Structures are given as C-alpha cells and as structure tokens.
Structure 1
Amino acid sequence: MAALLTRVKSGFQRLLERPATVDLKRYAEVLTSIEWREERVAKLSDAELTEAADALRAKLAEKNKKDKKDREPVKTLDVQDMVELCALGREASRRALDQRPYDMQLVGAMELLHGRIVEMGTGEGKTLAGALAAAGYALQGRSVHVMSVNDYLARRDAEWMRPVYELLGVSVGWVDQESGPEDRRDAYGRDVTYGAVSEIGFDVLRDRLCVDPEDLVQRVPDVALIDEADSVLVDEARVPLVMAGSTDDSQGDPEVAQIVRTLRPGQHYERDEDNRNAWLTSRGAKVVEKALGDIDLYSGDHSDRLAAVNAALHAHALLQRDVDYIVRDGKVHLINSSRGRIALLQRWPDGLQAAVEAKERLKPTESGEVLDSISVQGLVSRYQRVCGMTGTAQAVSEQLREFYELKVSVIPPNKPCVRADESDRVYDTIESKEAALVAEIAAQHETGRPILVGTMDVAESERIAEKLTEAGVSGVVVLNAKNDAEEAAIVAEAGALNAVTVSTQMAGRGTDIRLGGAEGDDAAHDKVADLGGLYVIGCGHYPSSRLDNQLRGRSGRQGDPGGSVIFASLADDLVAQYAPDATAGTEADDDGRHEDATARRFVEHAQKVAEGVNLDIHRNTWRYTRLIEHQRGLVLAYRDDVLHTDLAATQMSERLSEQWAKWSADVDDEVLARVARHVVLFHLDTKWSEHLAYLSDVRETIHLRALARETPIDEFHRAAITEFRGLLKSIGDLAAETLETAKVTASGLDLETAGLRRPTSTWTYLVHDNPFDSDAEQALQRVRAMLKKVKTRKA
C-alpha cells in the first residue's frame, strides 16, 4: 500500500511539473513597469546608460554581500531589479543592434534568470534573450559560460552581442579550437564567456593536468547558460570528453584489414538483425586463420590478432562510409548522428578507430593512454546554476528533470505560428517513397516556392540531390558533412525564391531562414509568402520526435506562412529496426502509398520505441558514470588542495622529517613546496589515469557478469569502490618513496631524472557512442520482449 501511495504521489508531482506555457498574467505588471522605466532610460546618453547598469551592479553586489553574511543563498533578482535590468537591456539592444526585444524575449530572459530551460520557437530571438539573461547574471557578480553546440555559433554570438554587453558594462569573450592559453585565460576572466560545450569541457580537462596555479585558464564554474539545451543536455550527454597522452602508436593492422575485405556476409561472417554486431562463422574463422599463417585465433597466444580481426570485421561490416563517417583530407571524420555534421575531434575507441583507418587505407592517427575524461552530463553538473534555451524542450522535459533537476518553461510566440504541418505520407518501399518525394519537390519548385529537404545521412542527401537533378530540378544545393563550413551561408539562402536545399539533419541551427533570402527586401519576402512560404520536406522520421520538430521549425518564423510534410516508408531503417513486424492495414495504391492510419501508427510507434531505447541507454549509462563522477570529485578536491596550498609540503615534511630538514638548510622553502607539489600531483594524476583504465576494462566486460546471474551495475560498483579505496593514501606513499631517493637541488627537482615522465604531448577528443554497446543492445532486447508480451496477450 505504501509503495502504491509513493507511486501515485510521484506521478501526481510529475503531472504538476509538466512543462506548460508561461502564464503571462504573472508578467503583465512587470512588463508594464519595464515599458514605463524604458521611457526614462531612452533619454539617457550611452555613458549614462552604462552608469545606470554599473549602479545596478553595485546595488546587487551589496545585496549579495548581505545574503552571504546572513548565510543565505544568493537570491534570484527581485521584481524591481528585474524591471531595471530588462529596461536597460531592451534599450541597449535597440541602440546596439537596432532590435527592440519583444515582450516574449524579455519573459524568456526572466525565466532563464530563474534557472529554467526555456522553449522558444524558431525565429523568436533566443540569442538575444540569452544575452540579456547572461548580462543579468553578470551584473549579479556571477561568471557565466554560454555553451553552444559548435565553435562557429559561439564566436558569432559573442561578437554579435558584444555591443549590447558593452553598453551594459559587461565584458565578454569567447574560446574556440584556435585559442591559445593566454587567449583562453583572458576569455574566462571576462564576465561572460562563449564557447562550444566540448571546448569548455576540454579546458576543464587541461586545467586538471596543471601543476602550477598560474597555468590554470578557468575560474570556479558558476553559471552555465546552454544554447540548444536539448542537444547539449540530452543528445550529447553520454559523450565522454577525453584527454589523452602520447604513447607508442597503436596502429590498425593493414594485413588483417586486407583479409577481412575478402570475407563475404553469410559465408564468412554473420550480422545480427540490427547491424549492431558481427562475428565470424566457423568457415570464416578458418579462412582468416589460414591467411594469417595457420594460427589458432582463439588460443591465448594470438589474442592481439583476434582483437584486430574483430575490430576490422566491425569496421568492414557495420560502419558505412558517408553514413557513419566520411573521409576528407586523408582522415576519417565521424558524423554526429543527431546533427548530420562532422563531429570535430570525435573518434571511436582506439582499436576501432585504427581499424576504420586501415579499412580506408589511411595513415593511422596517434593514439595514447587516457589521462582523464568527463561526460557532458558530468561537466554541466559542476555548475552552481544551469539554465538554457531551445526550440524543442517539451519532448525531453522528463529527462531534464530526472538528470538535471531542471524545469521547462514554454514561452508563447511573439506572433502565432501559422505553418501548415501535413500528415505523413507513408509508402511501402524506399524506392516508391523517393519517387513520390522527387515528384512533389519538382511540382513545388515549378511555382518558385523555396524547399528545404531534410535527409537522414550524407549518402541519402547526395542520392536525393542526384535524382532531383535527373528530374530537371535546377539549382539544387546540398548541405552535409562534406561542406559544413558553408553551413550558415547556405541555410541563410534557403528561403530565397526557387531555392532547393537538400540537407542532413540540424540544418543551420542558430541561423535564421528569412523568406526571400538573407539579403531579400520586403518585396522578395512577400512574393515567397504568397507562394506559401518555406516548404520543409522530411525524407523520413528521425529516432526522436524532437529532431522532426526541429526540421519542421525551420519554417514559419515570426508568423510567416510555411508548410511541412514527412515522407516515410515501412522499409525505412527506423521502422525496420524498432517495428520490424510493421504492416499496413490496406493495400498500397499504384504509387506505393498507404493511405490508411495503421501504416502511420506503425511509423509513429517505431519512433516511440527508439525514444524509449535511447532514454534507457542514457539512464543506464549515467548509473555507471555517476559513481565515477563522485570519485572524480573526491580526487579533484584533494588535487585542488595540493595545487593551491602547501598541503604536499606539509605531508612530505612529516613523512620525511630528517631529509626535509637537510633540504631546508640549502633549498628555499618555496622551491621545496613546488617540488613536493609536482611529485604528489604526478602520482595523483598517474593513479587516477590507471583507475580510469581499470574501470574501462571492468565496464567493457561487466555484461559477462549477467551470465553468472549477477547484476552488472552492482558488480561494477563493487569493483570500482574496492579499487578506489586507499587510492588517495597510496599517493602519499608513492610520493614519499620518490622523494627518498630524489636529488633535490637549489633549483628544484628534475622530474624526468627522477623517473616522473609526463606525456610529451597531449590531445583531446570525444569518444563516439560505441555503436556496438552491449547496454544499448540489452535495452533494445528489453523493449522487444515487452512488445512480444503485449502481442501475445492480444493474441
């Protein structure tokens, strides 16, 4: 009974916390007050406007000082201060950008200042709303990191919004892959810092290897304001950011790659129905063993060759060029499946990465040992306050609440959306679907109406573009991972008369599509509007309804007309993988189209199953990661104490009192403290790296524990806790052991001579979601099992 009440209470609470459109009645008086204050602010000179912002900063600093003195948490801005901030921000935007923020943009900024994830539609001005909120936090004396999905958007937004910040007396900077240490230190020293989430994460990892405080580039994390929050907090949440150090190159085996190229599916190897795993048949094993010199692959003596064969087989059988990766400039570039763009600095684990490079006959990239890593979810959880904005937050509101304790606020559009979203057009085969899609585009193109086509991957985008050209459609522009550098420019013109843009997913997120084109005048805008506005066509459903909505959302900005439709088939990968038994309720017509609702329901059902599987994977991955993050927190707290205090010197002087006294007679105390710090940090970093390697090995084999009827997550926790116990104590022992035989001089200690060799080079990368992850497969199997039970009951 108690359990039932708990579930009912939990369900009722979730119902109350479901995202809802913001009640504008709460903001009616505030918006009126802002408008009233705005009239007076408009009379100020630029200098007086900045002085008014400085006065607000001083006032808030005094309030914060009192709150800290009274040991109360720093409060959210009260109504009077919020009115002052919004009035100053609105006027600064009008002067700097010639844009007066709408009331809904101000409401969005205020919700961000309350620590919410705000949903604002395409073209509703999220960038400016975010800048006003960031300025509001900065005027409270807080440092703000505005996280974006890529370097381009981070730099663009920082430079675009800079005049607004300057009028408000707020300093702003940005970091990207080209930024040097001094540039980074300067950027992070500003009130507001823009950067791609991966770049900010990599700076965290780089700081964790610093052995002197002056080498740090970041400050203590405070406020994270996340652009495209659903993409960062959900799609990228499981992606580990990795710091690696150079070791001997772990190259792919060209000989094995050549042998695997000759293998044939069904004869020499098998694949599971979802193409998530591949294995040699007995016949295939014999072929490989003979080609490698009549070895026994499955004996312990050849385990390295077996690993190379498995990696090469996965690369050959499961990873497709122009779908999972592209080859450009002699390198393998992974494609981010949720954005259809190159995943910069992203790679698979070394063995698989090397196998793909060998498959493509490319020079292997450098490999090495992992020095540290952090997941995007772990990175975001470091901040005291997290807020963000996106056009599609409602669909992931449960995940945002579960994983981040964040609430979603839906901001009404400034002008109602009048886009016409048609029902799916479902076909029996991919061929009939694409034939109908090309015919629809050709018919619409004849009218001059601009069309944006969303495809699943690079290969499909190029295939559709080729078919359109063959059908006589002129001026087709393709945007995919092969030309993503021109992304913003291409997308900005997607609304021009006669434009046909074929793009992989997430086309130009953050770039506004104006009817008539980027440089079009009102006449061009009106001409396209009369044709029905931008017409968005999807080549199928994505694994998430959010991605569908993001594609649809490229059309219908600020009350503009527009339309969208999705062409799907019962043979699409999504349906084949997640609803393999899908059938239509009626026969297809002569064009292969199914008009019945049953076919559409199967497609929708497949998408819901995919969403459930991905949520299960996210939840399961975080269960493993959470303990590691806790242990990392303990290690970093100790590391910070060693880095910023004389803790290392105190500990070593106690352990080695006699030797320390002898050194003190000839060596300056500051030099001795530095020696102790460097030695302790070396052993701390080494032990942590070894601990991560151990946990990685445990994680990769933990699913085997299920065969012994043990719970994998419990076994992982048991192993991780046992291994971590005593780790910090062992660091002191190792440091004392090193110093006992060290030759400390007046200039310090030569670490290399003492055997403390740090990597000669380090680099950062993201580990791509393992496409053969056992947890993902288990999650899928669980969902399938549930579906079979439901079918059995119905039968």
Structure 2
Amino acid sequence: MLGGVAKALFGSSNDRYVKSVMKIVQKINALEPEISAMTDERLTQQTQLFRDRLTAGETLDDILPEAFATVREASKRVMGMRHFDVQMVGGIVLHRGEIAEMRTGEGKTLTETLACYLNALEGKGVHVVTVNDYLARRDAEWMGRIYGFLGLTTGVVVPNVSEHERRAAYECDITYATNNELGFDYLRDNMKYERAQMVQRPFNFAIVDEVDSILVDEARTPLIISGPTDDKSELYMQVHAVVLQLDDGDYEKDEKSRNVTLTEDGTEKAERLLESAGLLTGSNLYDYENTLVVHHLDQALKANVMFKRDIDYIVKDGKVIIIDEFTGRMMDGRRWSNGLHQAVEAKEGVQIEPENQTLATITFQNYFRMYPKLSGMTGTAATEAGEFFEIYKLNVVEIPTNLPVQRIDEDDQFYKNTQDKFGAIAKTIKEANDRGQPVLVGTVSIEKSELLSEFLEKEGVKHSVLNARFHESEAHIVAQAGRFGSVTIATNMAGRGTDIQLGGNYEFRLEDEIGDMPEGPERDAAVAALKAEIAAEKAKVIDAGGLFVLATERHESRRIDNQLRGRSGRQGDPGLSRFYLSLDDDLLRIFGSETLFSRMMNSSLEDGEAIGGKWLSKAIETAQKKVEARNYDIRKQLVEYDNVMNDQRKVIYDQRSDIMDAEAVDDIIEDMRNDTVNMLVGDHCPVGTYPEQWDIDGLKQKCAEVLGLAPDIDSWLQEEAIEPEIIESRLAEMATAKFAAKGVELDETVWRQVEKSILLQTLDHHWKEHLSTLDALRQVIYLRAYAQKNPINEYKQEAFGLFERMLAAIREGVTKTIATNEFRAEQEFTPPELPELPDFLTTHIDPFTGEDDSDDVDGGSLGLVTTRAVRQTPAPQGGDPFAGNPDIRRNDPCPCGSGDKYKHCHGAY
C-alpha cells in the first residue's frame, strides 16, 4: 500500500529514470538552432570533429548531445523525418547498454541511428541485429542514407554472400546482420586456419532489434555447425534389437516432454541384454565408458515408444520423412538430431543415413554476452525483464509514447470448442469488413490460419494469409493491413518490423505503385495523388474505428499477445483488440485442463455460447505464466549447460587464435612434448613406488609408439638411486634432440608451417570428438537425478574430466605426429596446405515452426543459393567456360572473379 502511495506521488522508478534522461534531451534540443544553420558540408564535417575530440580524450557521453543533434538534423535533410523527443530518450537508453521498450509505430528503426552513429565514431564497429535478412537489407539501405551523409560506411551481412563481401561488411562502421549470420560467422571464423581468412573483427557494441524475439524466443535453440560422421549403422541396429526385447513395465514415458526413462528393473534388464550383445563395457550401464551406448539406447527407446508412424513421420521411397506437427506437411530434407533420426530408420528397417556430428555450437545467450556493450529495442520486454537482467545484465526501460494510446483492449471472448469459436470469429470479421474496418487476425500456427481462411471463404470475405516464411513479400502485404476493408491473417512473426499505417503505408505503396516511373512532372503528380488518396482513406478508416486486431487464441507468452495488440493504435490512432478462446486451444488443453475453471466451463457452456470478463482473462494469464516459467526453465537450463562448454570453447578458441597469430609455435610444441613425457613416465613409473613395481615394458612400448624412441631403460635401472625424474629428464632430452634433428632437415619457414598445421589440425580433431562426447553425455546426465544428484553439477564434473583428457590427447597427438612422421627435404618441397573448411550444415531450429531457419545449407561454401536467399553476385551466363580445366579445384575461388568458390559459381552450372 505504501509503495502504491509513493508511486502515485513520485512516479515509478522507470518514470524517474526517463525524467532524468529528458534533461539531456533538453540540451540536445537547445543545440538544434545552431546545428540547423550549418551547411551540408559543415554538417558532414562534424563526424571528423567528433573523432578528433575522442582522440583528444573526451568520452562518448561528453559528445552525446552534439552527436545526437547532428543525426537529427541529418535525418531531417536526408529522410524528411525529425526524431521525436521520446526517440532521443530511446537513443540514450540504447547508448547506455539497456533495452528500450518502445510501442509499435514509435519509430525504433530511426531511434537506433542515434546510438549507432555515436558509438561508430570510435571506429571499432557497431552491429545492428535483425530477425530476418529482409529487415537487415531494408534497414541498412534505409538508415544507411543518414550514415552515408555523415561520412560513415554501412555494410550488410545476409545469407549467400561471399567471404570477401562478408569481410568488407564487417569492416564497415555500422553492420546490419541477422542473429543467425553473426553467430555462424563467429563459429566459422574459429574453424579457419589463418587469421586473414576470418571475417569478423573484435566485438564492440551491438543493438538487437526485436530483442525479445532474438534473445528470448530464438534463444531456446542453439546454433549448430555439423558435418557427417563415420557410419554407425550396425550399432543402431544392435541397440534397436535390445529395445525390442523390453516390455512396457521396463520404462516410464512422459508424453508432455516426449521422454522415456528406464525403470530400475528395466535398467538391469537392459544391462544384461547389452552385455550379451557385446555392447557394454563392464557391468554398469552408467559407467563413463558406456556414455555413448546409453545415448543410443535412450534415442532408440524414444523412437520406438514416443514416435508413431504416419503421425510423427512417414516412410516414403525407403526414407523416413518428418511430418510437421503444426501443419501436417512433409518436411523432406529435415532430420532429427542427436541420432534420433537414425534410431527411427533402424526401427523402420530402412537404410540408415550417416549421423551429422557437431563441429561447433553456441547459444545466443553466450554469443551476445561476448559484446562488451549490448542493447536492444522491442515493443514488448517488460514481462521478461527479470530474464533479461539475470542472463544478459540488461535493464528494461519503458519509453513513453509520443502521443497517448487510443486503442481499446476488450475482454477475451470464450467459447466451448474450436468450431464455435471460428464461426464467431468469421462473423465478427464479416461485420467489420462490411463497415470497411481493417482487420489483422493473429494465429499461433499455419494450420489455424488455413482453418480460419476456410471459414472466411464461406462468409465471402476477401483476405490474405501469411505465415512468416517469405519475409519480403509479407512485409509488403502487412504494411497495407491498415487499408480500408482489408483482412489479413498472419502467424505471430509474419511481417514483424513493418509499420502498419491507417490508409496504407506510404513508402511501400510508393515502391509498389510508382517505383518504376521516371523522375519528372508525371511522377510528381502521381506522388501527390497517392498522398492525397492515403490521407482520404486514413480518414475513412478512422471513422470505421481504426485497425481491429483479432487473435484466434492466446499465445504461450503474454509478451507475444502484447506484440499483436501493439500493431493497432500507433501514434495516437484509434484501434481495437480482442482475443477469442476455447477449451480446445493448446494453451488451455495442455496447461489448464485440470483447473476448476476448465471443468466448470466444460459443464456450463452451451454450444455456440460465449462468455467474457476480467476473471476469465486472469485465469488465462495463470496458464500463460505456467508456460512462460516452463520456457524460461528450458532457456536457463540451456545456458547452464552451455556455460560449461563455453568456458572450454573460450580456451580452445583463444589457443587457436594464439597459434594463428604466432610466427612460430615451437615453444608450444616443446611444452606439449615435455608434458607428454611427464605423463608417460608418471603412468608407468608412479612416484613413491619401487623400480621393481614399474611397468618398464609398457613404458618402452609407449616411447616407441608416441616418441619414436627406443631408450635403453633396462641399463638405466642398473644405476643406483634411479628415480622417475631422472628417467623423465633423459627421455625429454632424447625427444628434444629428435625433434631438433627433424627441423634441421627442412627450411625454417617450411618447418614452422608444418608445426602450425599439425597443431591446428590435431586441436580441431580432438575438439570435434570432445563436442560429440559432450552431446552424448548431456542426453543421459539427467538420469543422475534418480541417485539424488544434481545433473548440472554432475555434468560440470564429467565435462571437466573429459576436457582434461582431451587436452592430454592433443598434447600426445601433436607429439606423436611430429615424432613418428618423416619430413624429407626433396628438390621442390612445398609447405603443406592447411585443409579447407569442409562443406558442413548450419542449423538453427525455429522454436515456433520447428524448421531450420539458418538460411544456409552449405556453411563451408557460404554460397549456395536457397529458395529464400537472393544472390548478391551476377549469375554465370552461358554454362561453364572453365569445365575440364584440371588446374581449377572445386574449392578454389572461381576464375570469373565473383568472389564465390568455383563449385558454387561457374562450377555449379
């Protein structure tokens, strides 16, 4: 109560914060007359003046008022748009590394230019992160006009551009890119063998547009780069045969999470079956050595118990094809990961395709936390403010609207079943359409969109159906969703980032209707007529009640509902929002089915009857909070597990960078050699034991195998006071002499490259194997909970032990390769070429559609044209003029000069 009184008297903490920022905005406004009086040339020169002041010791905060005033004036001259005061507040919030929550239509895209310009003055690069490549291209071109006027460069990174173009884009002052491309470029850079091949430069500052979508929704799934592994078909078949011998009582299944767990009796039975099949090491299924077998057993159980033929997948032409649970469509080409698809193939008796192995992976949480300064914008962040702070240390600041919100948010309408609900929705839309009120209908899936479309066709209502797959074309349609009499059905992500203006979006209509018309009096007249038409139509739409946002059900998150509501009522326009619900909705069916409210509604509601009220909305919010908490737990768990790998990833990537930057790596190899000798002697001649207890035969065998040496250890044992340290010292001297002799045989430059090549390749090989082991470990570690142990703590301990073993294996591998291989100085000895990156798959599963939205099916080449990508270099004409030339390899740059590899340019035609 006291808190409420204090809030009423002094305002909330957010209000006080915004009020303090407004003092800076007043300083910016005071500079406007002076800046406005500058010529274009003098305004452009401000950039160099600011950079000189930064060099002289001033900070970004010192020059902020003048820099923001400069951007505002540039925008007025170039774009014809003047930043509102609230946009200035948003720009300051972004510069301070916080999240600016700005309502839809408040001009977030223009707001970002303020913080982008200011931070780009340091010359370290600014990244603007968007949800799709269409928005990256659009915003880079649109806002790039302001940056270009002020003398800054703008780059854009989208799928299907060459490495040369990517490198140039990252070198720009401001780079627009999608979250997927940034993450994959980081992973690919850390798989390369020379610093010059890398495209990104050190992280500095990022602004994440639609920050809730990228850092919350899409953060439920990690980015993965994978490649094919060795064939394990026989293992899948053997484990499948074991699973067929288990009974229903041997396992428990959880349909909600689609998990299958062996019971205590089932575990003992599985151990006996695996032992008899020769697949078990020792007698305990959960020993470390059996991690991989447990993983395969787990996946085989899921395949046989939880995944049903003709429901989850079909078998067609000898292949298992996934069925999309949202649309019921076949998803040809998509495969389940972690060996699940292979387990289903074994179950169905079809050919088992090789499993893809993870080569590199990172979560968005750990990727974006690498930026020294991070900020974001969205219309809806307040409901996830706790998560933003806990994971990213980002505060959410609610920016007031430029004009008061006039939209009316009505109570939810509740129906007994889907048929009644959709029938009522269709009638409501028909009534709105008859009076010319534009309607934007939000659905949770493509399937629901198509169902509603059938109802509207019966009512004779003309409409458009969008599903967030074709970003550019959908942006043009969504932009006109505010036109008189329009009806647009869209899934929650369709056309996001596009401004819906009553009467139609002027920029899009100009491009669509007058874009090709040449400059001149005719075009000027057409533009004037278009503006007058939009103004007249806007007046008609306002009279009809403004944009009506109608949702067919509540989403999993209140935040996504608020996003949808926010599409209506921009910049003080009138509007209306209403949600229609039923007991058949997934949210209520799964998470609210056992509530008193649900049972009461089922028994008291008649067919076709509707009710509404605030108490109903509260009940729905309770179900939503359950789902939000569950999804947060999923993301939090993902981060906890990835944090373990992240620490190890930093060590390996830092080591790779040091190796690539080093002129010579002989000191690293010397340390590895000495550590390997230490380990060999320590294993066979433990400290504190007598010489007669030492495994001398084993030590001699390992010396021959790893060091390529045949030391006379037997004669050393005849000496008095022989100690393990003496043996270690002598072996180290012998190994050093052998390595030195090898280096003398070759030119010094060549030998350095040989050492570097061996070091990098060995490091990458063992890191790849380590990731595969961690993948398998993570799939089964939850079983430790049955022993009253914390799975994440167990994972940390196991992962640390595995990492130590990997480092030892790397040291031994490098030492063995150099010691046992021959390097002869022949007449024309050329340094060994570092291998090219393999053609690998990039994967990022969209948490809403279940589809891979990475837009890059061949990450090694960076150049394969996909159905959604637009080629940036001219396509080859007239076939392949270089065909048959033996000097051109598939992975060489194409001789035509496009910047793409030959196999993805002329070699692909």
> Is the 8 Å Cα contact of residues 416 and 606 (structure 2) preserved in structure 1?
no
* Correspondence 1:630 to 2:647: yes
CA distance in 2 between counterparts of 1:404 and 1:18 reads 23
1:259 aligns with none
Q: Which amino acid in the other structure matches residue 648 of structure 2? A: Q
Quick check: 1:736 aligned with 2:815?
yes
Partner of 1:205, secondary structure, is: helix
**Equivalent-residue separation in structure 1 for 2:329 and 2:48 (angstroms):** 42
SS at match of 2:498: coil
1:479 counterpart (466, 477, 490):
466
State how far apart, in whole Å, the 2-side matches of 1:342 and 1:113 are. 46
Looking at structure 1, the residues matched to 669 and 237 of structure 2 have their Cα atoms a distance apart, in angstroms, of: 52
Shift of 1:723: 1.4
Aligned-partner Cα distance in 2 for 1:318–1:279: 24
**2:636 paired with 1:619:** yes
Deviation sequence 1:105-154 (CA, Å, 0-9, x none): 11111111111111011011111111221111111333211111111111
SS at match of 1:723: helix
Work out whether 1:688 is the aligned partner of 2:688: no
Aligned mate of 2:624, from 601, 607, 620: 607
CA contact (8 A) 1:175 1:195 kept: yes
In the alignment, is residue 77 of structure 1 matched against residue 61 of structure 2?
Answer: yes
Partner Cα distance (1:236, 1:336) in 2: 17
Could you tell me which residue of structure 2 aligns to residue 510 of structure 1?
Answer: 497
Residue of structure 2 in register with 1:274 after alignment: 256
- Once residues 478 and 255 of structure 2 are traced to their aligned partners in structure 1, the CA distance between those partners, rounded to angstroms, is 37
Q: Secondary structure at the match of 1:63?
A: coil
Aligned to 1:111: 93
* Shift in Å, 1:417: 1.2
Contact map agreement 1:426 1:593 (CA 8 A) in 2: yes
| Partner in structure 1 of residue 806 of structure 2 | 727
Deviation of residue 56 (structure 1)? 0.5
Alignment map for 1:712-791 (pairs within 5 Å): 712-744=791-823, 747=829, 750=832, 760-767=838-845
Instruction: Please report how far the alpha carbon of residue 516 of structure 1 lies from its aligned counterpart in structure 2 after TM superposition.
Output: 1.3
Q: Find out whether 1:430 has 2:422 as its counterpart.
A: no
- Over residues 594-649 of structure 1, what are the superposed CA-to-partner deviations in whole Å (9 max), with x where a residue is unaligned? 34655433322111111111122222222222121112112222221111114623
Query: Does the Cα contact within 8 Å between 1:335 and 1:342 map onto a contact in 2?
Result: no
2:746 corresponds to: 667
Aligned to 1:588: 605
CA distance 1:607–1:251, shift in 2 (3 Å): farther
**Residue 273 of structure 1: CA displacement?**
5.5
- Bigger drift between 131-140 and 313-322 goes to 313-322
Aligned length: 709
SS of residue paired to 1:419: strand
Q: 1:273 to 1:582 in 2, by over 3 A?
A: farther
Does the CA-based 8 Å contact 2:60-2:118 persist in structure 1?
Answer: no
CA–CA distance in structure 2, aligned partners of residues 399 and 635 of structure 1: 29
Q: Which amino acid aligns with 2:816?
A: E
Name the SS for the 1:674 alignment partner: helix
1:20 maps to 2:14? yes
Q: Match of 2:406, SS? A: coil
Do the aligned partners of residues 275 and 642 (structure 1) sit closer, same or farther apart at CA in structure 2, a change above 3 Å counting?
A: closer
Q: Distance in 2 between matches of 1:122 and 1:433?
A: 28
Paired residue secondary structure (2:156) = strand
| Gap change, CA 1:320 and 1:93, over 3 Å in 2 | farther
Offset of residue 726 of structure 1: 5.0
Q: 1:439 deviation in Å?
A: 1.4
- More displaced, 30-39 or 354-363? 354-363
Shift in CA distance, 364/206, structure 1 to aligned 2, threshold 3 Å: farther
Q: Secondary structure at the match of 2:550?
A: strand
TM-score of the pair, normalised by structure 2: 0.71
Identical aligned residues as a percent:
36
Aligned partner (choices 401, 409, 412) of residue 400 of structure 2: 412
SS in 1 for 2:553: coil
Query: Equivalent residue of 1:521, what SS?
Result: helix
One-letter code aligned to 1:711? N
Q: Is the counterpart of residue 180 in structure 1 residue 162 in structure 2?
A: yes
CA distance in 1, matches of 2:333, 2:203: 24
Between structure 1 and structure 2, the one with the greater Rg is 2
CA contact (8 A) 2:442 2:549 kept: yes
| 1:223-248 CA distance string (max 9 Å, x none) | 12111111111112232111222335
Question: Residue deviations 1:545-590, cap 9 Å, x none?
Answer: 0000001111111111111000011231101211222344573256
Q: What is the Cα deviation at residue 651 of structure 1?
A: 2.5
Instruction: Please give the residue correspondences for 1:17-416 in structure 2 after superposition, counting only pairs within 5 Å.
Output: 20-21=14-15, 23-63=17-57, 77-78=61-62, 81-247=63-229, 272=254, 274=256, 276-277=258-259, 300=277, 307=299, 310-311=302-303, 314-316=306-308, 348-349=336-337, 351-352=339-340, 367-416=355-404
Match of 1:499 in 2: 486
Partner of residue 578 from structure 2, selected from 565, 571, 578: 565
- Contact preservation (8 Å) 2:429, 2:439: yes
Question: Could you give the per-residue CA deviations for residues 26-69 of structure 1, whole angstroms, max 9, x where no partner exists?
Answer: 244433332332222223232221211211122113326xxxxx
Shift, 1:335, TM fit: 9.2
Shift of 1:299: 7.7
Q: CA deviation at 1:205?
A: 0.6
Aligned with 1:721: secondary structure?
Answer: helix
How far is the alpha carbon of 1:86 from its aligned partner?
Answer: 0.8
* Counterpart amino acid of residue 813 in structure 2: L
After superposition, the Cα gap between the structure-2 partners of 1:300 and 1:364, relative to the gap in structure 1 and judged at 3 Å, is closer
Q: Quickly say closer, same or farther: Cα 1:596–1:188, change in 2 above 3 A.
A: closer
Instruction: State the TM-score, normalizing by the size of structure 1.
Output: 0.81
Q: Which amino acid aligns with 1:42?
A: S
With 482-491 and 435-444 compared, the bigger mean Cα shift is at 482-491
Deviations 1:183-216 (A, max 9, x none): 1110111111111111100001101111111111
For 2:470 and 2:28, locate their aligned partners in 1 and report how far apart those are by CA, in whole Å. 45
Give the stretch that moved more between structures: 212-221 or 742-751.
Answer: 742-751
SS in 2 for 1:193: strand
Alpha-carbon distance change, 460 to 28 in structure 1, aligned in 2, over 3 angstroms: closer
- CA 1:669–1:37 in 2, change beyond 3 Å: closer, same or farther? farther
1:253–1:308 CA contact under 8 A, matched in 2 = no
Mean Cα deviation higher: 32-41 or 509-518: 32-41
Q: Give 3-state SS (helix, strand or coil) of 1:423's partner.
A: coil
- For 2:756, the aligned partner's letter is R
Report the 3-state secondary structure (helix = DSSP H, G, I; strand = E; otherwise coil) of the residue aligned with 1:77.
helix
**Any conservation in 2 of the 1:672–1:748 contact (CA below 8 Å)?**
no
CA distance in 1, matches of 2:331, 2:176: 19
Contact 2:411 2:613 in 1 (8 A): no
Verify the 8 A CA contact 1:401 1:407 in the aligned structure 2.
yes
Give yes or no for the alignment of 1:540 onto 2:557.
no
1:778: which partner in 2? none
Contact 1:254 1:361 in 2 (8 A): no
TM-aligned CA deviation for residue 692 of structure 1: 1.5
Could you tell me which amino acid in structure 1 is paired with residue 308 of structure 2?
Answer: H
Amino acid at match of 2:646: E
User: Greater CA deviation, 49-58 or 304-313?
Assistant: 304-313
Who is 2:790 aligned against? 711
Q: Kindly provide the amino acid, as one letter, of the partner of residue 509 in structure 1.
A: R
Determine if contact 1:588/1:595 at 8 Å carries over to the other structure. Answer: no
Distance 1:771 1:625 in 2: 23
